[in-house]
């Protein structure tokens, strides 16, 4: 078993809310004098409760994180905004200190929270390679040795002696990433830096990262791009409001993250039977809104989930407060990573005219042969004036379960982990 290279024990970090912005000496003195005299804080807004020791004013960006990372692991860190991902990376990179707990590290850490940190616009590309490299703790000889390689990777040999301020933003980023990619720490920490550059360069970076991982180095990778997490990471951690929610194989953690939001939004148990989404018309304050989604079979009987290659009817109940003579309804089905798999619209795709009347109406979208394999998919609905604007759009309104079936009579049930769409086909010798 490979040795542990990072050991995080009971790590917490709290930030004080609201107090930070008000940091002028006069206000702090006023607060301090008031406290000495036992008076309430003079700067609190009236009606706001004084929280004494200010426990309420704290936000725990991280709380009680315990984590062990082994050598050679490529760990993806995922979670919504404010989940504490960046805080964790900042503490690991020694940018800010934790409130409690400790991290023990074995090996040289290189962290890339941003590409091009410390680039100086007046200096040339070459000078900036040295400067940036030194900031990332690369010794001078190492940079000199790799200089040609870096310039080549960035595809910049022509402009390397031009001041960086004359570069386009894409060029700057390419140069910056080239430096970063040639950093050779034992542990690499990366925050979303792949979200830059054009598609070709991104691919190149991903390739480089894969290489790094294969060399047996440990990588911690934060990203919102689930595809890159899935393709790079051997293990993933899900953070939620500063708490470590899930840890395990990448697929499982990513899936639980992607479906969690929607499932949390929709408490399926409270829906009338046969509905996969429902809300009261009264609860809606939008001009156009979807108030219910039902799955039905061809006999118009409600069913709980779709079945691969079986007919499926999605009944959309929608409410409108005004009339739209030429409207359109769109049904969208996405994979869990957000890839759009199916899109069916009355207009412009199908050419079915739709007059939306004020009040509550419904429309059926009929799939004669549901093409998706077994697993969870995300359903989205849009109400639109076709080609003009969306009156309502929720790209992930609810989850649609598909039950896999042995459609080819092979004893294998097609599931979404293997492939998403099943199509009728033949083989010929």
Q: Which residues bind other proteins (CB under 8 A)?
A: 3, 7, 15, 20, 23-25, 28, 90-109, 111, 113-114, 117-118, 120, 122-123, 127, 130-131, 134-137, 139-140, 163
Q: Shortest distance, CB of residue 374 to other proteins, whole angstroms?
A: 43
* CA gap 29, 22 in Å, rounded: 12
Element (H, E) at 379: strand 375-385
Of residues 108 and 418, the one with the C-beta less far from other proteins: 108
Q: Shortest distance, CB of residue 180 to other proteins, whole angstroms?
A: 10
Q: Shortest distance, CB of residue 76 to other proteins, whole angstroms?
A: 21
* CA gap 342, 378 in Å, rounded: 10
CB-based contact 239:246 (threshold 8 Å): no
Of residues 61 and 398, the one with the C-beta less far from other proteins: 61
Count Cβ atoms below 10 Å from residue 223 Cβ, excluding itself: 20
| DSSP collapsed to 3 states, 56-122 | CCEEEEEEEEEEEEECCCEEEEECCCCCCHHHHHHHHCCCCCCCEEEEEECCCEEEECCCCCCCCCC
Of residues 11 and 78, the one with the C-beta less far from other proteins: 11
| DSSP collapsed to 3 states, 170-237 | HHHHHHHHHHHHCCCCCEEEEECHHHCCCHHHHHHHHHHHHHHHHCCCEEEEECCCHHHHHHHCCEEE
Of residues 160 and 413, the one with the C-beta less far from other proteins: 160
Of residues 191 and 255, the one with the C-beta less far from other proteins: 191
* CA gap 331, 349 in Å, rounded: 11
Q: Shortest distance, CB of residue 4 to other proteins, whole angstroms?
A: 8
Of residues 216 and 252, the one with the C-beta less far from other proteins: 216
* CA gap 317, 265 in Å, rounded: 18
Q: Shortest distance, CB of residue 110 to other proteins, whole angstroms?
A: 9
Of residues 66 and 339, the one with the C-beta less far from other proteins: 66
C-alpha of 132 from chain center: 28
* CA gap 423, 429 in Å, rounded: 19
Q: Shortest distance, CB of residue 18 to other proteins, whole angstroms?
A: 13
Q: Shortest distance, CB of residue 105 to other proteins, whole angstroms?
A: 5
* CA gap 73, 3 in Å, rounded: 11
Q: Shortest distance, CB of residue 98 to other proteins, whole angstroms?
A: 5
Of residues 90 and 315, the one with the C-beta less far from other proteins: 90
């Amino acid at each position: 078993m490979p040795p542990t290279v990072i050991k995080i024990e009971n790590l917490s970090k709290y930030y004080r809310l609201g107090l930070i912005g008000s940091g002028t000496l006069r206000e702090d003195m006023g607060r301090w004098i008031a406290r000495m005299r036992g008076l309430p804080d003079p700067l609190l807004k009236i009606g706001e409760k004084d929280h004494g020791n200010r426990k309420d004013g704290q936000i725990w960006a991280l709380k009680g994180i315990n984590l062990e990372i082994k050598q050679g692991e490529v760990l993806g860190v995922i979670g919504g905004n404010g989940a504490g991902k960046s805080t964790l990376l900042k503490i690991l990179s020694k940018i800010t200190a934790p409130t409690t707990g400790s991290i023990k590290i074995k090996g040289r850490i290189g962290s890339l929270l941003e590409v091009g940190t410390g680039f100086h616009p007046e200096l040339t590309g070459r000078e900036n390679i040295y400067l940036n490299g030194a900031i990332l703790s690369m010794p001078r000889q190492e940079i000199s040795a790799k200089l040609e390689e870096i310039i080549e990777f960035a595809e910049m040999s022509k402009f390397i002696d031009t001041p960086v301020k004359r570069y386009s933003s894409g060029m700057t980023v390419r140069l910056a990433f080239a430096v970063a990619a040639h950093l050779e720490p034992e542990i690499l920490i990366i925050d979303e830096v792949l979200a830059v550059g054009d598609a070709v360069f991104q691919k190149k970076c991903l390739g480089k990262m894969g290489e790094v991982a294969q060399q047996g180095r440990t990588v911690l990778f934060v990203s919102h791009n689930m595809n890159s997490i899935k393709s790079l990471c051997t293990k993933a951690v899900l953070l939620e409001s500063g708490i470590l929610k899930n840890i395990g194989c990448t697929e499982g953690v990513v899936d639980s993250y992607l479906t969690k939001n929607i499932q949390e939004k929709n408490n399926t148990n409270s829906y009338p039977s046969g509905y996969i989404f429902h809300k009261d018309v009264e609860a809606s304050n939008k001009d156009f809104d979807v108030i219910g989604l039902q799955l039905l079979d061809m006999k118009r009987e409600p069913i709980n989930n779709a079945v691969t290659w079986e007919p499926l009817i999605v009944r959309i109940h929608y409410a409108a407060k005004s009339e739209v003579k030429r409207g359109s309804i769109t049904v969208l089905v996405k994979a869990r990573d957000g890839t759009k798999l199916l899109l069916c619209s009355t207009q412009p795709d199908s050419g079915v005219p739709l007059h939306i009347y004020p009040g509550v109406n419904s429309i059926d979208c009929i799939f004669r042969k549901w093409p998706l394999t077994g697993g969870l998919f995300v359903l989205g609905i849009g109400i639109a004036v076709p080609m003009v604007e969306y009156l309502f759009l929720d790209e992930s309104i609810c989850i649609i379960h598909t039950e896999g079936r042995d459609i080819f009579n092979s004893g294998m049930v097609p599931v979404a982990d293997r492939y998403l769409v099943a199509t009728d086909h033949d083989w010929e010798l």
